Amino acid sequence: MARRGFQGAVLTAFGVEYHTATVLGTEQTTPRMRRVWLTSSTLFEDVSLAPTAWLRIWFPDPDGSESEFQRGYTIAEADTETGKFAIDFVLHEPAGPASAWALAVEGGETVEVTSFGSKNFTVSEDLPAGYLLIGDPASIPAVNSILAAVPHHVAIELYLELHHK
């Protein structure tokens, strides 16, 4: 059995509900971003799909130990009726557990996911004059979900950190 350390113990103590997600396939969306398509028959019974909804996903140790590591990822696309969803991974060097997994994963493999701790962005009824969004490439799925939710007449100023040229 994989070891999840202190983080796993804390999440278990809080009674998180885990869902098995099966990889359907991958696609390279940019030279440094890979989209992984997954499906889960139970995830959307527990997850409210809204802007910036994110999941905790447990990844195997790229060095081959029995340890697993969790990371948080915003849902990039989803079809709650079918249970199909996509997660975008920034590919970086050196590759950590999630990036290494995204580079190597193939259809049919499974991971465990939970939505514990996810707080969604909501558009206020009293709209502000505008929004200021600041992020890096890993924030693009969250930024995209906010852009889709904010009415088009509300100004948005966006700054994304450049990591590579």
Say yes or no to pLDDT of 42 above 90. Answer: yes
Would you state the structure tokens that stand for residue 57, as one six-digit string?
């996903």
Q: What is the DSSP string of 77-145?
A: EEETTTTEEEEEEE--SS--HHHHHHHH--TT-EEEEE-TT-------SS--SEEEEEE-GGGHHHHHH
Residue 54, Cβ density class (10 Å: 0-12 exposed, 13-18 middle, ≥19 buried):
buried
* Residue 142 confidence class, pLDDT cut points 50, 70, 90: very high
pLDDT of residue 11: 87
For tokens 């049919």, what's the residue? 108
Report which of residues 141 and 95 the model is more confident about.
141
pLDDT of residue 124: 87
Is the Cα torsion angle 133, 139, 86, 67 positive or negative in sign? negative
pLDDT of residue 150: 95
pLDDT of residue 164: 65
Say yes or no to pLDDT of 115 above 90. Answer: no
Residue 1 amino acid letter: M
Backbone φ and ψ of 100, nearest 5°: -65, -40
Share of the chain above pLDDT 70, in %: 98
**What is the C-alpha to C-alpha distance for residues 104 and 35, in angstroms, rounded to an integer?**
12
* Residue 165 confidence class, pLDDT cut points 50, 70, 90: low
Peptide bond into 94 cis (omega under 30): yes
Average pLDDT over residues 25-43: 95
Q: What is the mean pLDDT of the chain?
A: 91
